Amino acid sequence: MAVEKKWWHNAVVYQIYPRSFMDSNGDGIGDLAGIISKLDYLQQLGINLIWLSPVYRSPMDDNGYDISDYEDIAAEFGTMAEMESLIQQAKQRDIHILMDLVVNHTSDEHPWFLEALKSPDNPYRDFYIWRKPAADGGPPNDFHSYFGGSGWALDEASGEYYLHQFSKRQPDLNWDNPRVQEEVHAMMNRWLAKGIGGFRMDVIDLIGKEVDKQIMANGKNLHALIRQMNRATFGKGDYVTVGEAWSASPQDALLYSAEEREELSMVFQFDHIKSFWDEREGKWRGRPFELGRFKAVIDKWQTALADKGWNSLFWSNHDLPRAVSKFGDEGEYREASAKMLGTALHCLKGTPYIYQGEEIGMTNVRFATIEEYRDIESLNLYQERLAGGMSHEEMMRGIHANGRDNARTPMQWDSGPNAGFTTGTPWIAVNPDYREINVAAALSEPDSILWHYQKLVALRKQHPVLVYGDFQQLFSEHRQVFAWLRTLEDERLLVINNFSADRLTLEIPEAMQAWHGECLISNYAPRDQLAVSIELQPYESFALLLGR
C-alpha cells in the first residue's frame, strides 16, 4: 500500500538557528533581516521549507525556547513587519516557513505566568502545574529537570511548587486545562493566517504528561491533544507539521504520522542519536560511532514506516553535534565524508532536513574553557556533573563531543573577520576553521560539499524513486558499508556508502554483478556498473539508477 502523495514529500527542509545565521546590524546576533539577505542563497540550494528556530519575544534563557510573547518578535531579531516580509519574500522563492511551536512551556516572563504567580486563585494559575511541597517541605517528587536540578521550583509567596521540565525559567503549561488548549490553538491560527507553511513542534511528546505518575513523555492524552490541535488549526489546510519526539518508537511514529490518524505530517525520532549515548551518563559520556547499531536503527525506522506514516531524515540540528564530526571525519576526509552523509540522507525514504552549515561541512567546535560556552544545558550540567564527581576533563570531552554549542557557532559565510557573520562581536565565538570552511569558498569550488547538496536536493525532485521507492538494505552484515536498494515500480536505485576511512574491497554477490546504470551522484569518479568486486575509496558513496 502506498502513502498518499503530498507536495512536501520531495521537498527538503533547511533549519535556521536565527541567532547564529546572519547578523545584519553588527550587534553580534543573527536576525531576520540577515535571513532575508540570504534567501537567494537558500533558493539556489533548492530547499522549499525553512524550519525557523524561535524568533518570538523571549528573555533568552534558552535562546528563545522560553517564549514570553508568542505573537511578537524578539527585538534583537527584528520586528513583526520583518517577519511578515520574510514569509512573503520566501514564498516568492517557493520557500515556506515552519514556525517553531514551543508550547510544552512558556517563559516565566509570559503574562500568563506573571498572572499565575499573583495568587493561587488567579484565573491563570491553572495554566501551569502546581503542587504542594512534600512532607519534608521539599519538592513534591524527585523529578529531575533536563537542564539540571529539581524539575520543581518553589514559589515562595504561595509556598507551592511549579513544574519545569527544562530551566526553572521555562514553567510547563498545563495541557489538561481547556483554556490552555484554546489559547494555543487561537495563537496558531493567527500564525497560519500570516501565510506560514506549518509548524515544527518542540518536545511535543511531553504535552500529555501525567505528572503525579511521573509519566512525562507519551502520556495518555497525548494523541488526543494532537488530534484536537490538528482539527482546530492546521488540519484545515495543506500544512507541514513535524513533532519533536525523543520518546517515539516506530509504533508511536505511526500514531503521529499515519494519514488517517489526522495528527502530524511526521516526527523527529532520535534513536540513531541516542544509540551513541551512555546508559547512565547520557550524551556526556558518549560511545564512539558504531556503524552496526546505526544501520540497525535506520533499517528499523525505514521498514516500520514503509507503507504508512512518513520519516523525517536528519543527522544534526541545533541541539546536536555537527554531522560530519559525529558520523564522518573532520580531518583528511571531511569533504568526502560530508558528501557521503549528504548522499545517504537524501537517498533514504522520508523528508530530509539540512541543518545550517551542514551543506558546507561545518565541524564541531572545541572551546578550551567552559567560559566560552553559552548553552544553558552545557553550563548547568557542567556544574552538576562536576559536583557529582565527574572530572573537568571528562565533562569537557563530553561537551566537545555532544554539547549543543557545536551546532550554534556562527554560520561561516566567508574567510573575512568573524566568518562574515557579523561586523561586531559575535555572541558566541566563530569556529576557527572558518578560514577554510565557508560558503564563499564552497560556492567558488565546483566540487564542493555545497554543490553536492544542491545536486541531491534537485535529484529528489527529478526521480520519484528517491522519494517513494521501497527501502531494502544490502550487505547488512558489513561493518563499514551501509548500502540499500530503493525500488519504485520498474525503477531501482542502488546506494552504496563506505562509512569508514578505509579503502576496501566489496565483494559483490553474483546476482548483482551485472548491475549497471546511470550514476546520479558520487563523491569520487562516477561509477556506472558493478563487477565481481569493487574497490571503495575512504567514505566513497554513490547512487546508481539501475538500467534494465
Q: Which does 405 bind (CB under 5 to 8 A by kind): Ca ion, ligand GLC, none?
A: none
Length of the chain: 548
Q: Which does 61 bind (CB under 5 to 8 A by kind): Ca ion, ligand GLC, none?
A: none
Q: Looking only at residues 410 through 439 of this chain, which bind Ca ion when binding is defined by CB under 5 A?
A: none
Binding segment for Ca ion (CB under 5 A), chosen from 20-28, 110-118, 186-194, 340-348, is 20-28
CB of 38 or CB of 295, closer to Ca ion: 38
Inter-CA distances, 252 with 1, 239, 263, 275, Å = 20, 21, 12, 18
Binding segment for Ca ion (CB under 5 A), chosen from 18-26, 86-94, 364-372, 409-417, is 18-26
Q: Which does 65 bind (CB under 5 to 8 A by kind): ligand GLC, Ca ion, none?
A: ligand GLC
| Residue 458 to residue 381: CA distance in whole angstroms | 42
519 strand-pairing partners: 544
Binding segment for Ca ion (CB under 5 A), chosen from 9-17, 19-27, 117-125, 398-406, is 19-27
CB of 260 to ligand GLC, least distance (A): 28
Q: Is 375 a catalytic residue?
A: no
CB of 105 to ligand GLC, least distance (A): 7
CB of 119 or CB of 425, closer to Ca ion: 425
CB of 31 or CB of 244, closer to ligand GLC: 244
Residue that is written with C-alpha cell 547512565 in the block: 280
* Pairing of β 312-313 and β 152-155: unpaired
CB of 171 or CB of 420, closer to ligand GLC: 171
Residue that is written with C-alpha cell 501565510 in the block: 195
CB of 244 or CB of 252, closer to ligand GLC: 244
Residue 94: Cβ within 10 Å count: 12
CB of 39 or CB of 519, closer to Ca ion: 39
CB of 29 or CB of 50, closer to Ca ion: 29
Q: Which of 11, 17, 23, 106 binds Ca ion (CB under 5 A)?
A: 23
Q: Amino acid letter at 162? A: Y
Inter-CA distances, 265 with 101, 253, 309, 408, Å = 15, 10, 8, 27
Q: Which does 319 bind (CB under 5 to 8 A by kind): Ca ion, ligand GLC, none?
A: ligand GLC
Q: Which of 3, 6, 25, 221 binds Ca ion (CB under 5 A)?
A: 25
Inter-CA distances, 537 with 327, 450, 525, Å = 17, 21, 10
Residue 199: Cβ within 10 Å count: 28
Using alpha carbons, select from 112, 99, 102 the residue that is nearest to residue 66: 102
CB of 58 to Ca ion, least distance (A): 15
Q: Which does 530 bind (CB under 5 to 8 A by kind): Ca ion, ligand GLC, none?
A: none
Per-residue DSSP letter, 172: B
Q: Is 202 a catalytic residue?
A: yes
Handedness of CA 332, 296, 219, 51 (dihedral sign): positive
User: Would you count residue 303 as binding Ca ion (CB under 5 A)?
Assistant: no
CA-CA-CA-CA dihedral for 395, 401, 404, 410, to nearest 10? 120
Q: Which of 61, 66, 100, 244 is catalytic?
A: 244
CB of 31 or CB of 358, closer to Ca ion: 31
Q: Which does 358 bind (CB under 5 to 8 A by kind): ligand GLC, Ca ion, none?
A: none
Inter-CA distances, 486 with 5, 228, 302, 352, 548, Å = 17, 36, 11, 16, 15
Q: Amino acid letter at 120? A: P
Q: Which of 31, 66, 202, 433 is catalytic?
A: 202
| Residue 401 to residue 287: CA distance in whole angstroms | 10
Using Cβ positions, the residue closest to ligand GLC within the complex turns out to be 65
| Residue 104 to residue 215: CA distance in whole angstroms | 14
- Exposed (0-12), middle (13-18) or buried (19+): which is 170, by Cβ within 10 Å? buried
SS (H, E, C) 454-469: HHHHHHHHHCHHHHHC
User: Would you count residue 79 as binding Ca ion (CB under 5 A)?
Assistant: no
Q: Which does 62 bind (CB under 5 to 8 A by kind): Ca ion, ligand GLC, none?
A: ligand GLC
CB of 69 to ligand GLC, least distance (A): 16
CB of 48 or CB of 106, closer to ligand GLC: 106
Using alpha carbons, select from 461, 457, 349 the residue that is nearest to residue 47: 457
| Residue 422 to residue 27: CA distance in whole angstroms | 8
Using Cβ positions, the residue closest to Ca ion within the complex turns out to be 31
CB of 510 to ligand GLC, least distance (A): 48
Q: Which does 375 bind (CB under 5 to 8 A by kind): ligand GLC, Ca ion, none?
A: none
Cell numbers found for residue 499: 562509512
CB of 466 to ligand GLC, least distance (A): 28
Q: Which does 203 bind (CB under 5 to 8 A by kind): Ca ion, ligand GLC, none?
A: ligand GLC
Kindly state the number of chain residues that form the binding site for Ca ion, as judged by CB under 5 A.
Answer: 5
Binding segment for Ca ion (CB under 5 A), chosen from 26-34, 321-329, 353-361, 386-394, is 26-34
List of residues contacting ligand GLC (CB under 6 A): 62, 65, 102, 166, 202-203, 244, 318-319
User: Cα 115 vs. chain centroid, distance in angstroms?
Assistant: 33
User: Cα 535 vs. chain centroid, distance in angstroms?
Assistant: 34
Three-state DSSP class for 168? coil
Contact partners, residue 280, CB within 8 Å, separation at least 6: none
CB of 63 to ligand GLC, least distance (A): 7
Q: Which does 23 bind (CB under 5 to 8 A by kind): ligand GLC, Ca ion, none?
A: Ca ion
User: Would you count residue 27 as binding Ca ion (CB under 5 A)?
Assistant: yes
Cell numbers found for residue 416: 573575512
Site map 29..48 versus Ca ion, x via CB under 5 A: x-x-----------------
Q: Where does 46-110 have alpha helices with state H?
A: 80-91
| Residue 358 to residue 239: CA distance in whole angstroms | 26
CB of 65 or CB of 130, closer to ligand GLC: 65
Contacts with Ca ion, residue ranges (CB under 5 A): 23, 25, 27, 29, 31
State the catalytic residues.
202, 244
